[in-house]
Every structure is written in structure tokens, then in C-alpha cells.
Amino acid sequence: MKICLVTTFPPSHRGLAEYGFHIAHELQQNPLLSLTILADELETPQPELEDYSVIRCWRFNTLSNAQRVLAQIRELKPDVVWFNLGFSSYGDRPAAAFAGICIPALTRLNGYYTHVTLHQVIDYISMKDAGVRFPRVYRAAGYLATRLVLMSNSISVLLPAYRRTLREKYRGANVHVRMHGILSSRPEYPDFSRRGNPLHRVLAFGKWGTYKRLEQILEVFALVSARVPNAQLVIGGGDHPKTPGYVASVAQKYQHNRQIVFTGYVAEDKIPELFQTATVAVMPYSSAAGSSGVAHLAAAFGLPIICADIPDFREMAENEDLAISFYETGNMQSLAGEIIDLLESPERQQEMAEQNFSAAMRMTMPQIVRQYLRAFDIHQRTRALEPLRRFRRLPSWVSTRSALARAVSARTAPWM
């Protein structure tokens, strides 16, 4: 099977690049697949990752992306075109973002089987946190964009609520719920001897500046450290593309506080150490933009999670049986209380850690990708049988019926 994966891809740091990498990594392990990645162009030239066939044929905030991607697809002639997609994957300017959202529909209209993993649904995005100036116009455009995405052959979303909305409000068909996955083939059982010894590291990780802001957790940590003197706040990750310089400006204010550490951007190979030595992962968000990659990273390392009581996260926890303690969104006392209670309870830390490790075991990346491949394979087999079904509808008295059926069966044999 020939697959084109259309996604942001490392060494690009744009949204969903890490998720695109882990999809590609699992596909690359299958000797029966031929994978080509149609990725975003890099702002500065960098070496490509080894062993991947990458064609960088589209650029962020460019209106001609549809033409460029379709030209590559026509040349490659894949069996499946798989889009790893968010509403701002192709741009943070409205025209470029909308033009990019049209690409899956145009790909299907050109005769290619098209699948979309859709990470967000417009109805669940906070316009205020996204910095949208004209929310009504954006909502209307988002409605149209969603209808266009639903023109794909099939769609996967990461939360059951998203599927309900796409089916009930948008009348979408062939919409499936699939877990986000832990971006790993094997979760790490927590080593409790590295936690709270000697420091209880409270880890806040992400791309900061929009709906993920640091002011609240920094104020809350003053309350936490007064109660738990061996606590340390570790802030991992850099700026959101919309807020350049944000993390550096915040870090400068706390540069003399030894209990607060800013790591900046964390390379892929440094992530395990960061999570393995933390006691708890905290998600101090004001809203959500889909299923949380940070929560799944924490689960992969058996790390307890504390996060804002946001509907998307509630559903994620229930759907995947994750151990998450929720605090009242925007309430500093509530957040401080949750952190202190957890740091002072080794039994609860271990219970939550083991539950998250157990959940991670059920949603490794190989398991998730196999679900997609089974669906693609069923489609290929069904499509291959269509000509044979037509011949079987011919009356039995047609003299060439058997010969034609045998010829078509021989052509479809590779998919059987």
C-alpha cells in the first residue's frame, strides 16, 4: 500500500509536527507499506531525518498550497492520502488557513482516497484565547471549513464529543473516534525513587503564550513552595508561534528564584528525563484546543496529572481512564490546593501514576496506527471488489460472464 502522509514534520517545530513524526515512525516499520511524507517547508535549511522519504512541498501562510500538494499527489499516485490536520496547520492568516483546509476535499475530488485525523473542531475553540478579532466571521468560516473537511472519504477525531458534533450539527458521515495515543511504542513504568528525591518537581510543559499562560502557575507556586519547601517548578517548552518572546520575558522576572527552572525548547531525546524525574504534570490552561498531547506524554511516563476543569479534558480522562485531578479553571487557591494535596500524599502519587501507566499500555502508537491501517485495508479490499460485483449482477445466460469474472478476480487478487 502506498501512503502519502500530509503533515508538518520535524525538524519543523510547527503544530502537530511531533504527532506527524510518530505516525510516520510507525508506518515506516511496516515492510508492506511505501510511505512518502508531504511536509511543510523549513524557514532555514536543516538536514532531514534519516530513513524518511520527505518532500517539502507546502509553506505556512501560502495560498498556493493546494496546487503544490495536489501536484505531488498526482505524481506519486498513492492508494491513501492521510492528512494530520488542525484548523491552523496551513497558516494563522484566515485566507491561507482556509485554503489549506480545502486540500483534503480537493484531493478526494481528484480521485484519491482521503483520510483526515482532525485534532480540533471549530465549535470547541475559544475565540478569545485564540486572539480572534472577528469571532462571528471566524465561526461562519469555520462552519464552512468543517463542511469541506467532511467531504473526505473518512475522518478520525480524538474525542467522542467531536464525533457527536460532526454527526449531529454537520451531518457528517464516516466519522470515527480514535485515541490520541502516547507517542511511544512502550510506556515507561515510573521509577518512584527519582521523584521527590530530593525535590518534588512540578512540571508545566507546552508551547506558551495563548491559552497556555504561565502567570497563574507562577503565582500559585509561591503558595505551594511555602507549604512544601522541597518543591521546584520546572517550565518546559518555548513560545507559541503567535507569542514570540513570551517565555523569555516571563523567565527574566524569575531569574533569581532557584526554585523555578525554565528549560526552553526540549529536544525529543531529552523529554524522557524531564518527565521521569517529575512528581506531577500541571496543565494550567484557560481553554483547550483538542485532546492534550502533554497529558498523553505524562501518561507514557506514569506521571500524575493536575489540570483545569475543561470539558475536553474531562471527556479525555473518562474516555481513556486517565488519572487526572481537576481544579476550578482560573482559581489559584483551587490549583494550589490540588498540588499541595498531591505532593503531601505519596500513596495518591503512586496510585495515579500506576493508573496512567496502565492507560498508556492500552494506547501505544503501534496500536493506534494499526487501527488506521485496518480501516485503509478494508477500503482497498472493498474498492477492489467493486468491478467483480458488477459482473456478478450480469444474468447467468450471458456467455462471457464467467470469463469476465475470472479476469477481474485475477486483477483484484493482490488485495485479497
Cα distance between the two ends of the chain? 13
What whole-number distance in Å separates Cα of residue 306 and Cα of residue 313? Answer: 11
Place of cell 480521485: 111
User: What is 192-361's CATH number?
Assistant: 3.40.50.2000
What whole-number distance in Å separates Cα of residue 196 and Cα of residue 205? Answer: 18
Q: What is the pLDDT of residue 71?
A: 96
Q: What is the pLDDT of residue 403?
A: 56
Give 85's pLDDT tier (boundaries 50, 70, 90).
very high
- Name the residue ranges covered by the structural domains of the chain: 2-177, 192-361, 367-415
Q: Where are the beta strands (DSSP E) in 167-279?
A: 175-177, 200-205, 231-236, 260-264
181 Cβ partners below 8 Å, 6+ apart? 22, 296, 363, 364, 365, 367, 368
101-118 pLDDT tens trace: 999 999 999 999 999 999
400 versus 337: which is more confidently predicted? 337
Q: Above 90 in pLDDT, residue 125?
A: no
When computed from its CA atoms, the radius of gyration of the chain, rounded to whole angstroms, is 24
Q: What is the pLDDT of residue 389?
A: 57
User: What is 2-177's CATH number?
Assistant: 3.40.50.2000
133-180 pLDDT tens trace: 777 887 888 899 999 999 999 999 999 999 999 999 999 889 999 999
Q: How many helices (H) and strands (E) does the chain have?
A: 15, 13
pTM above 0.75, yes or no: yes
2-177 and 192-361 have identical folds: yes
Tell me the average pLDDT across 32-44.
94
Does residue 56 sit in helix, strand or coil? strand
Q: Nearest 5°: CA angle at 373, between 368 and 374?
A: 100
Q: What is the pLDDT of residue 396?
A: 59
Least Cα distance to 22 among 316, 303, 297, 358 occurs for: 297
The CA-atom distances, in angstroms, between 156 and each of 94, 183, 292 are: 24, 17, 16
Q: Above 70 in pLDDT, residue 399?
A: no
